[in-house]
Chains A and B, each alone.
Chain A
Amino acid sequence: MPTFVYMTRCDGCGQCVDICPSDIMHIDKTLRRAYNIEPNMCWECYSCVKACPHHAIDVRGYADFAPLGHSVRVHRDEEKGTIAWRIKFRNGKKDMELLAPITTKPWGTAIPKLADQPAPSQAVRDSELLFNEPKYIRLDDGNLHTLKSAGLKLKAGVYY
């Protein structure tokens, strides 16, 4: 279901161009508005639909298998931390609204800046531990699993 852009809603701001993972949302040079230049490389990932500040981008199911007359619309709100969907069937019999959280924390605030963390000791560098380990493995005092701690060894051959 490739994307398309409504002429009257698009103001050519380019946010869809900036976000599209497939590089297929481009600005038409004459109309100065966005459009999908390569529908058969569109994954209908909705990244551009969600990013558009004017809800100017929509999706029409792939012509080779999706009949006309449906609608799946979305509104993603980073402030509220939610995403809202509305699905309408071709025959009009189903009209569903669904809401889901997209984050549990105010946007971007809960991610540590590792440059500010105390530097790891040489002993930790020489160990197999990663940042925040061993604590974060089980959130207890346990250590990293090793072959020894698990009572295992690696043996060549056919074993099941």
Chain B
Amino acid sequence: MGYKTIIEDDIDILVAGAGLGGTGAAFEARYWGKNKKIVIAEKANIDRSGAVAQGLYAINCYMGTRFGENNPEDHVRYARMDLMGMVREDLAFDMARHVDSTVHQFEEWGLPLMRNPKTGAYMREGRWQIMIHGESYKPIVAEAAKKSADKVFNRICVTHLLMDDSRENRVAGAVGFNVRTGNYHVFKSKTVICGAGGASNIFKPRSVGEGAGRVWYAPWSSGSAYGLMIEAGAKMTQMENRIVLARFKDGYGPVGAYFLHLKTYTQNGLGEEYESKWFPALTEMVGKEYLDTEGQHLSHKPIPTCLRNHAFISEVNAGRGPIHMVTMEAFQDPHLEEIGWHNFLGMTVGQAVLWASTDVDPKYENPELTTSEPYVMGSHATGCGAWCSGPEDVSPPEYYWGYNRMTTVEGLFGAGDAVGGTPHAFSSGSFTEGRLAAKAACKYIDDGKGEGIVVSDKQIADLREKIYKPLETYKVYSNEVVAGSVNPNFINPRQGLDRLQKLMDEYCGGFGVNYMTNEKLLQIGLRKLKMLDEDMAKIAASDIHELLRAWELHHRVRTSESVFQHTLFRKETRWPGYYYRGDAMKLDDENWHVLTVSHRDRKTGEYTMEKAPLYHLVADE
């Protein structure tokens, strides 16, 4: 094949994936590493890549300590409550204590943050959310990253991390291919900050056919954060903690501003409030510590996201759907009506298109809601990701191994979806994590930890062969049949994706089985996934674009395997409304008040699972 091998050598910091986490890393790295070589490799174009490509209408993580609103520890307690206790509180505290400095810089850079005309503080949507005109959020942070980086390689699909051949368990860069030219790119680097994304499209989506792209998280979020890091041998945590979203039906338009700012509310098909009647039974399942409706009322603590989902799902199953968002009251106010529409145009235009196409005017009709298919990511109300070191001044010994946000692979750092146990970071928190990782990576290099890395020609050649194999497979076998996509020797990426989505849905708790699974189902699913994994060696790509899809699927399969292993390991139902273990329908604090940590052996592919202690912030008396 005539593709060139292009080697970029002597990189100090390679940012693999430049969404909000990666742009934060590239930006900050320059301050601590004036003379360091900082390079970005991004699958798309950094001006519009990652989950924020479309824009955002809110920044969902801002403390507002400056305005006397919240302190970092308040946010940690909130995240702990929302995630049923399962948070890396050292990382969460660290993110929260820095996030405001990130947001204040965004405002200085020109991101339009709305202000409350009465108080002068930022316009609050909820306790943690501030409202922005964020259509250009991504181009603005991309500009900051570009000003810091030595080189930006757009359209490079990073497929694998390079490993040091002279020393076990040390990263040495990454490889991938250019999705335009097809050329093979090798990045030799002392450190890698993985800013790649979480995973949409691994569970069968509710939409069919053309609408399959209308997923909640971006369709280009291919689980590459997990695929890359797992294959490098990094330990992962909380991968069972997939998230299900209650959103406007079909368009998956966001509900945050509607609930919090517009004060809209939900009701069942009979026009009744339905949530509270499910709470007594739910309290039985999860315990009073997690849902105490009496106490909740007094304390005004919000109900955890998963438990609200549970009420939604149960009500629909009881035959009293659809669940409606009551917008007709709020939308009588023209100002609120405008905000309702702007909210979609700023971050989910598709919902506006859907309402326009179905003549749903929320001023005169209450729109339907739905619960989505599950997603695997680490920056919304869920905390999947790599097991990373925390900061020196906060973390207990089990959570600390020298460099903030470094995974268990030396020199490999994470930011955003890549970091596990840090839910509720959202855009601003992900950027902040990138900044933290960048400073730590500079320190790692200054401490001499990246010296003497050896990358053999063999490693580079082997990966090259692997990457282009789907093109080769296509060339060899496609002419064996007359025409069409049916071939006994290979599957194409779409066929593989369909198979993955079907088995994840049916065996791992997708919407098609009401988010239910159990040990037997998980074991069958794992067996089927193993066969899909074997067939991945026979995947075929007819062109470079399909090659991109083939490698995205590879990362999705690797992510799914981890989700299966973690879900199998945690024998309890920790998050009813996200998923249910039918063979262990209760929350079990006695055995499972722990974080789950997995390790996949790089050579054998064998998984080992362990429990890690959960530390909580408490008053130091």
Contact = CB atoms under 8 A, between A and B. Distances in A.
Interface of A: 1-2, 18-23, 26, 37-47, 59, 61-72, 74, 76, 83, 85, 87-91, 93-94, 96, 98, 100-105, 107-115, 117, 119-120, 125, 128, 130-134, 136-140, 144-148, 150-160
Nearest to A39: B210
Q: Which 5 A-B pairs have the closest CB atoms?
A: A105-B110, A62-B211, A136-B101, A70-B356, A70-B357
B101 A132 contact: yes
Contact of A131 (B31, B108, B353): B31
Specify which of B393, B443, B616 lies most central, judged by the most chain A CB atoms within 10 Å of its CB: B616
Nearest to A106: B110
B30 A114 contact: yes
A42 B212 CA distance: 8
A63 B520 CA distance: 37
A44 B44 contact: no
Interface stretch (B273-281, B344-352, B556-564): B344-352
11 contacts: A1-B354, A40-B211, A43-B54, A62-B350, A101-B133, A130-B101, A137-B97, A144-B98, A145-B65, A155-B616, A157-B593
B104 interface: yes
Given A93-B359, A130-B439, A155-B616, A37 B545 contact: yes
Size band of the interface chain B makes with A? 35 or more
Contacts of A132: 101, 105
A147 B616 CA distance: 12
Interface string B326-363: 00000000000010011001100110111111110100
Interface string B567-602: 000000000000000000000010001000000000
Given A47-B54, A139-B104, 20 more contacts: A1-B357, A21-B50, A22-B44, A23-B179, A23-B548, A40-B212, A43-B213, A66-B357, A89-B361, A100-B135, A114-B31, A114-B148, A130-B101, A131-B28, A138-B65, A145-B65, A145-B71, A156-B615, A158-B593, A158-B614
Specify which of B54, B353, B593 lies most central, judged by the most chain A CB atoms within 10 Å of its CB: B353
Interface in B381-437: 391-396, 435-436
Contacts of B527: none
A115 to B, nearest CB: 6
A108 B140 CA distance: 7
Contacts of A18: 45
A139 B103 CA distance: 12
Nearest to B24: A130
Interface in B286-338: 289-290, 338
A131 B33 CA distance: 12
A138 B393 contact: no
Contact of B545 (A23, A61, A113, A114): A23
A130 B435 contact: yes
Given A23-B545, A43-B218, A120-B32, A152 B353 contact: no
Contacts of B108: 110
A106 B97 CA distance: 30
Contacts of A43: 53-54, 213-215, 218-220, 350
A33 B112 CA distance: 35
Contact of A155 (B80, B135, B349, B615): B615
Interface of B: 27-28, 30-32, 34, 43-45, 47-50, 53-54, 65-66, 71-73, 80-81, 85, 89-90, 93-94, 97-98, 100-101, 104-105, 107-112, 133, 135-136, 140, 143-144, 147-148, 155, 179, 207-215, 218-220, 250, 289-290, 338, 341-342, 345-346, 349-350, 352-359, 361, 391-396, 435-436, 439, 443, 446, 545, 548, 589, 593, 613-620
A93 B357 CA distance: 12
Contact of A45 (B54, B73, B111): B54
A144 B97 contact: yes
Contacts of B617: 147, 152-154
B199 to A, nearest CB: 14
A20 B135 contact: no
Contacts of B207: 62, 64-65
Contacts of B214: 1, 43-44, 62
B289 A160 contact: yes
Specify which of B81, B94, B155, B614 lies most central, judged by the most chain A CB atoms within 10 Å of its CB: B614
B140 A150 contact: no
Given A1-B350, A43-B214, A137 B100 contact: yes
Nearest to B74: A150
A65 B354 contact: yes
Given A23-B545, A104-B112, A160 B359 contact: no
Contacts of A64: 207-211
B361 A156 contact: no
A20 B44 contact: yes
Contacts of B211: 40, 62-66
B147 A113 contact: yes
Nearest to B347: A45
A30 B109 CA distance: 43
Contacts of A41: 212-213, 219-220
Contacts of B71: 145, 150
Nearest to B399: A154
A68 B619 contact: no
B342 A101 contact: no
B591 to A, nearest CB: 11
Contact of B133 (A2, A102, A144): A102
B174 to A, nearest CB: 19
Given A100-B342, A156-B396, A111 B147 contact: yes
A66 to B, nearest CB: 4
Contact of A137 (B27, B98, B446, B613): B98
Contact of B349 (A40, A72, A156): A72
Contacts of B446: 125
B365 to A, nearest CB: 12
B90 A154 contact: yes
Nearest to A105: B110
Specify which of B89, B101, B104, B107 lies most central, judged by the most chain A CB atoms within 10 Å of its CB: B101
